[in-house]
Structure 1
Amino acid sequence: MLTRLKKTPVPLALRSAAHGLIQSCAGLVMVAGAAVAAAAQPAPPIPITPGQIIGESQLEKARCVQESEPAKYQRSRAVGRLYTGSSYGTAWRVGPGNLVLTNLHVVGENPDLARMVVEFDYEESSCDSDAVQPAVRVPVERLLASDGSADFALLALDQEAVDSGVLDAFGYLGLDTRISEVGDPVYVAGHPLAGPKRISRLHDDGHPCWVTEVRNNGRTDFAKYNCDTDSGSSGSPVIDARTNAVIALNFGFSSGYNAGAQMSSIWPAIAGYFDEKLPEGSVPVEQPGVPMAKPGAVGVQVPVRVTQVDGQSPVAGAPGEQLYYHAPTHTTITDVSCQSGTTQWIAENGKAASCTLSGAANWTTAQSVALRVDDTAPDGLVSDGRVRLLSYTGQIRGANNLALNVMSRGPGEVQSLRAQAGNFQAAPLHSRFPEPLTARAKDPMDAAVVGADVTFAVTDDGGTGTRFEGDNQTPTVQTNTVGDATSPTLVADSRAGTLQVTAMSSGRTATFHLRVVSQDGDPTDAVEHLSVITGQGQIAPEGTEFPLPLTARTLDEGRDPVEDAWVTYTITDDRETGTRFVGADQTPTATTNSHGEAVSPKLIAGNKSGFVTITATSNDKAATFIIIVGTI
């Protein structure tokens, strides 16, 4: 028997991205490797957050659309209700294989795949009936890819179930990877309130709902639209009414309208799972590559594609229409390549440029801009530049990122140094540490750096007297064929306490945390449970400090707090936001207090918006924090 679904409190920071989670204490029956029919489940009566209905509700039963617009109904059959094991959302089949898309905030960073299932054909049997027909339920096999900025998760369904043909009648959806324009007609199919399938195709005025705004946050293209959704619609496809291909992935409510990340931003991240070919039924758009440059580079060419919706026909332009470029940070525009019949302009400060049509003509695909990269440009993706196709009235017809990957170091140079072995050791008084310390050096291409000098140095603030064997207390070791440099053995002295050893190479560092213990041993070994206490779900604007540090709590086997245990905080998935801990140590280790709580340093939000995942670890136990840079 199912228990009544109830409201779940949602952190304020997640209010615009997490409106589809409806908690349930009930488990659902799932048969691995097979699709089974399940009894109809009642729709939960309470949404988490109100406001996704734009005016009056125009949500329609899927079957009520079947007669008047059979194409919309048929496309909606590829949409299913997703049960994560504790919550509901919407997912949909991409292409003819076993892959489905939904929101990352629906499944979470560490999903319970053993309980996750997608229920297809969960809808009323007719327009006039409230009786819901049994759903076809297919287990989820794997989480293949996800991204916090675009809030997507690509899931693989159980291959045996898909191969059985049980989903053939429901079809699949293709993708429209162009950037949509204001006024484009769209419709949304999903499972609001975790109930039977609903289609939203009309606005209150009786006309098809449409895209009301197109924008970009520096990394991801978004669209807003006046189609109705509700809690549980997270993960629904936003479908272009002309091509019946998916233009965006619905994630929530933003500033008076529902909103989703456009497929123009999602497709490059998942294309590898489709052999780089858009699935059948898609609308292809050529994707420009992202060039790479070093700080100080001049004349770096960045291509721009101007492509019609079908990927072949030219884009018609009117007199006065222009391509307007805004240079990414740390760059200036040195040249712009325009097609014939256009007027070229570059701002004196190099921060903007344009190509303007002098008469009616078709835009070609041969457009590019040349950039100079500042000497001080940091490593990483610079993607806050923009190119916009503007009509003579200033209305945006289309837009793209102007992205550049900056690498200060070349292949063979040390780009990163990390603790590979020997970290978090403990040694008794007057004894040798069990392992030497090993640091691994990688270059910008993530390849091992051979023959790099790595210097080790002890920082003994705890006064333990720990030293390297031999006279040299700052030994320098060269990396081997896999990029590893291994220190001499460390020897503990007569005082218990903690210490650090820093490995350094070419300005990169790796920090090892060690402890000298008495006969009582290392308290960290007693940690059996690690949980999130405070700091989860915070939001901070770009370049500002997050309000709270992160706090995790350790408990032993008897559920008592563990004092003096180590908890290490690591940014495990930054999504290129540039978020960092305050201070030089980017894998800080904190010691628990008498309540078993370890408090991290504060974090500073980077200059790109998106989700950031931080993992706390202690004695091989882990707890995950998700925080958000910027707002959508």
Structure 2
Amino acid sequence: MLTRSKTILAPLAFAGLVLGAGAAVAAVLPAPPLPITPGQIIGESQLEKARCVQASDPAKYQRSRAVGRIDTGRSYGTAWRVGPGNLVLTNLHVVGENPDLARTVVEFDYEEPSCDSDAVRPAVRVPVERLLASDGSADYALLALDQETVDSGVLDSFGYLGLDTRLSEVGDPVYVAGHPLAGPKRISRLHDDGRPCSVTEIRNNGRTDFAKYNCDTDSGSSGSPVIDARTHAVIALNFGFSSGYNAGAQMSSIWPDIAGYFGGKLPEGSIPVDQPTVPMAKPGAVGVQVPVRVTQVDGQSPVAGTSGEQLYYQAPTHTAITDVSCQSGSTQWIAEDGKAASCTLSGAANWGIAQVATLRVDNTAPDGQVIDGRVRLLSETGQIRGANHLALNVMSRGPGEVQSLSAQAGNLQAAPVDSRFSKPLTARAKDPLDAAVVGADVTFAVTDDGGTGTRFEGDDQTPTVRTNTEGDATSPALLTDARTGTLQVTALSSGKTATFHLRVVSQEGDPTEDVEHLSVIAGQGQIAPEGTEFPLPLTARTLNQDRNPVEGAWVTYTIIDDRETGTRFVGDEQTPTVTSDSQGDAVSPKLIAGNRFGFVTVTATSNGKSVTFIIVVGTI
């Protein structure tokens, strides 16, 4: 990361972070637990103009096209496209906890037009729309570019990068593409000895996998992709210089956090690692077997074991390890509390054979996928050579039972007095495997606290409808009376509830349609210890096209990335919709911090406009 002034004052904790005279240090999360300092040229600089690499190594040049310079309005760094959509990755310390998105852009094609030229072609500038996810330990920030710009095809010629989510090994050849010193694109592919630069060390701090490598970078290279030279997929996110080598967080640690933004599937161009299917268990289950396979980069070739090597298991939360299957010649160990176990080799073996940990699941285990267990392959020196996540699905209900009910269509409608709502209400029922539930009874009921007199068409005011093959149950039409106001309709099935927010308006229409701007007023950046209430509710301000407050507009708050902290709104409604006051302010219910440290992202949405809040569970 590089600030706009190139006057270097003092080295800071993050790689390449320099400040101009009079500049203030932005509040950032604690640095990753490696001694990172600026000064990432290792020996003599081997940084090459991107175009100088094109003739001799066109594959590396082509992959570098997906890399851009990120301008936050106060500093520069590097960012790169992940997959063919509108998502990019960079370092959290580049953009900060509360980025000024109105000033943040990613500049693609910022490079010289030829190897012999020192001129720089005009960059293709794409605005950043949202900060989706971030983490201080792995020092990453996942950003969404302006969708309309991406859809225009302006980035198509630059391509995108896939991910390699295995744990890299010492000796793996890599290269780095970025914008050192905020200048034109540079590629680092060679060490001073003329050999390809490579991974030199693998480390883990108990939460994040790190890699060190002997490629050159410089200030402004923060956020660069570290790319495997054999697969051309990204194995790590560069964040700085550590003990003689550059370092980055491995995608093996970052991917599980961001997978939800890709529908759980690795983006195109990624290298899949074959792992056994995640098993399913109910709370209180005993003898649940969770298999793990350690493989090479191709997902198939086995990792050969050596004497003294150890496969170390860390139990997921809400579970305990009761047994592990160890190969012949291995020593088995299980901790008394069942929170850890291991198999240690007395001779050579083949880790490609599926290993199995047997778990006991707590009676109090909540429904959902537990992915915070770990399996690490350690040598006698403690160096990590391979790692996998130990995961299982915990489900109190069986397949075919209603696990969730959601508002699928008809929510947030407005209708004039003495008319009918244009769309009926549709609730969708899903089972624990996220499959549609067919034939489930769903009952609809109007809660008309606003006294609008809204009712279902027909005599039955609590109609029960069965779900179709899509899991959808659709209510009869809703009729309005002569009074304006707000109301709710609930859909109920097997104890699960979906809530629809509706409004009866005058002939002048719905004030929500006047909302053209949303801004954050209060609640941003709050920190609350685990299990406590956040001090402030979230407040977003609604404004019309003239920047005047909009009274009576609807604003819906949604937790879009909980990071498994367990944070939730006070009350049963977890996507609360509130009405703006005379100042245009819409105040959410308060939030209760979950029981696990992490960042929580909440959006406020009105009339298609949205703003993002980031709050923190724990102490920093």
Q: TM-score, normalised by structure 1?
A: 0.71
Equivalent residue in structure 2 for 1:134, among 120, 127, 135: 120
Take 1:356 and 1:461, find their aligned partners in 2: how far apart are those partners?
65
Deviates more, 1:553-562 or 1:72-81: 72-81
CA distance in 2, matches of 1:538, 1:489: 43
Aligned to 2:573: 585
Which of 395, 401, 410 matches 1:422? 410
Residues 215 and 223 of structure 1 are in contact (CA less than 8 Å); yes or no, is this contact kept in structure 2?
no
- Cα 1:21–1:364, aligned 2, differ >3 Å: closer, same or farther? same
Alpha-carbon spacing, 1:419–1:291, altered in 2? closer, same or farther (3 Å)? same
Mapped to 1, the partners of 2:64 and 2:438 lie a distance apart of 51
Corresponding residue to 1:293 among 268, 274, 281: 281
CA contact (8 A) 2:366 2:394 kept: yes
Question: Could you tell me which residue of structure 2 aligns to residue 82 of structure 1?
Answer: 68
Cα distance 1:513–1:285, how it changes in 2: closer, same or farther (>3 A)?
closer
Contact 1:249 / 1:261 at 8 angstroms: preserved in 2?
A: yes
- Counterparts of 1:44 and 1:192, CA distance in 2: 20
- Equivalent in the alignment of 2:205: 215
* Distance verdict in 2 for CA 1:617–1:246, change over 3 Å: closer
Change (3 A) 1:151 1:224: farther
Alignment partners' CA distance in 2, 1:208 and 1:21: 27
Q: Residue 318 in 1 paired to residue 307 in 2?
A: yes
Corresponding residue of 1:103 = 90
- 1:100 and 1:625 map into 2 onto residues whose CA distance is 19
Counterpart of 2:582 in structure 1 is: 594
Cα distance change of structure 1 residues 597 and 275 upon mapping to structure 2, 3 Å threshold: closer
Instruction: State the AA in 1 paired with 2:400.
Output: G
How far apart, CA to CA, are the structure 2 residues paired with 1:21 and 1:442? Answer: 51
Q: Using the alignment, how far apart are the partners of 1:111 and 1:123 within structure 2?
A: 30
Q: Distance in 1 between matches of 2:461 and 2:523?
A: 39
Q: For the Cα contact (< 8 Å) 1:237–1:248, is it kept in 2? A: yes
Cα offset for 1:597?
0.6
Separation of aligned partners in 1, 2:500 and 2:565: 26
Q: CA deviation at 1:606?
A: 4.3
1:589 is displaced (CA, Å) by: 1.0
Equivalent residue in structure 2 for 1:476, among 443, 464, 478:
464
Indicate whether 1:437 and 2:419 are aligned.
Answer: no
SS in 1 for 2:205: strand
CA distance in 2, matches of 1:299, 1:533: 51
TM value normalised by structure 2: 0.72
Instruction: Give the letter for the 1:250 counterpart.
Output: N
1:212–1:226 Cα contact (<8 Å) kept:
no
C-alpha change, 1:491 and 1:296, in structure 2 (3 Å) is same
Please list the CA deviations of residues 534-580 of structure 1 after superposition, one character each: whole Å capped at 9, or x if unmatched.
33444556655444322111112332111222211123444555432
Q: CA deviation at 1:598?
A: 0.4
Answer whether contact 1:48 1:231 (CA < 8 A) is retained: no
Of 366, 370, 390 in structure 1, the residue corresponding to residue 354 of structure 2 is 366
Match of 1:302 in 2: 290
CA deviation after TM superposition for structure 1 residue 586, in Å = 0.9
User: Residue 109 of structure 2 aligns to a residue in which SS?
Assistant: strand
Q: Which amino acid in structure 1 is aligned with residue 307 of structure 2?
A: A
Q: How far 1:221 sits from its partner (Å)?
A: 3.9
Residue 108 (structure 2) aligns with: 118
The DSSP-based 3-state class of the residue aligned with 1:625 is strand
Cα 1:318/1:618, change in 2 over 3 Å: same
8 Å CA contact 2:318, 2:362 repeated in 1: yes
2:554 to 566, 579, 586: 566
Aligned-pair CA distance for 1:133 = 4.0
Give the Cα separation in 2 of the matches to 1:241 and 1:212.
17
Aligned to 1:513, the other structure's residue is in SS state strand
Matched, 1:413 2:413: no
Name the structure 2 match of 1:249.
Answer: 237
Deviation (angstroms), 1:403: 1.4
Partners of 1:176 and 1:528 in 2: CA distance: 41
Q: CA offsets per residue over residues 167-222 of structure 1, 9 Å max, x none?
A: 9xxxx99976442579999875522442245678999xxx99955742353xx645
User: Structure 2 unaligned runs (5+)?
Assistant: 7-11
| 1:125–1:98 distance in 2 versus 1, CA, 3 Å | farther
3-state SS, counterpart of residue 524 of structure 1? helix
- For 1:498 and 1:378, how far apart are their aligned partners in 2? 34
- Residues 122-179 of structure 1, C-alpha deviations (whole Å, 9 max, x = no match): 59968xxxx8343586788999x9864664569999989877xx99xxxx99976442
Assess if the C-alpha contact under 8 Å between 1:148 and 1:610 holds in 2.
Answer: no
Identify the residue that residue 9 of structure 2 maps to in structure 1.
Answer: none
Q: Distance in 2 between the 1:256 and 1:598 partners? A: 51
> Which residue does 2:182 correspond to in 1?
194
- CA deviation vs aligned residue, 1:92-122 (integer Å, no higher than 9, x gap): 6899x9999633867999999x985422645
Name the counterpart of 1:452.
440
Offset at residue 340 of structure 1 (A):
0.5
Helix, strand or coil: the match of 1:299? strand
Q: Does 1:388 align with 2:376?
A: yes
The AA in structure 2 aligned to 1:554 is T
How much does 1:305 deviate? 2.7
2:41 to 45, 59, 63: 59
- Relative distance call for 1:601 and 1:117 in structure 2 (3 A) is same
Per the alignment, residue 390 of structure 2 pairs with: 402
Question: Residue 525 of structure 1: SS of its match in structure 2?
Answer: helix
Quote the Cα distance in structure 1 between the aligned partners of 2:185 and 2:21: 13
In the alignment of these two chains, the number of paired residues is 577
Compared CA separation, residues 514 and 338, structure 1 to 2 (3 A): same
One-letter amino acid matched to 1:103: T
Question: 1:353 is aligned with what amino acid?
Answer: A
State the AA in 1 paired with 2:439: G
Report the 3-state secondary structure (helix = DSSP H, G, I; strand = E; otherwise coil) of the residue aligned with 2:512: helix
Shift in CA distance, 546/365, structure 1 to aligned 2, threshold 3 Å: farther
Q: Structure 1 CA distance, aligned partners of 2:512 and 2:232? A: 56
Q: Measured at CA, do residues 433 and 189 of structure 1 come closer, stay the same or move farther in structure 2, by a change above 3 Å?
A: closer
Equivalent residue number for residue 524 of structure 1 = 512
Residue ranges of structure 1 left out of the alignment (5+ in a row): 8-14, 23-42, 279-283
Q: Is this contact kept in 2: 1:458–1:500, CA < 8 A? A: yes
Give the Cα–Cα distance (whole angstroms) in 1 for the partners of residues 82 and 283 of structure 2. Answer: 40
1:449 & 1:388 partners in 2: Cα distance? 38
SS in 2 for 1:587: coil
1:334 counterpart = 2:346: no
Q: How many percent identity over aligned positions? A: 65
- Alignment check: 8 A CA contact 2:15 2:38 kept: no
Against the structure 1 CA distance between its residues 104 and 521, is the aligned structure 2 distance closer, same or farther, given a 3 Å change threshold?
Answer: farther
How far apart are residue 262 of structure 1 and its match?
1.0
1:334-353 equivalence runs, <5 A: 334-353=322-341
Distance 1:225 1:439 in 2: 52
Q: Which shifted more, 324-333 or 601-610?
A: 601-610
Tell me how large the CA RMSD over aligned residues is.
Answer: 5.5
Q: What CA distance in whole angstroms lies between the structure 2 residues aligned with 1:392 and 1:415?
A: 46
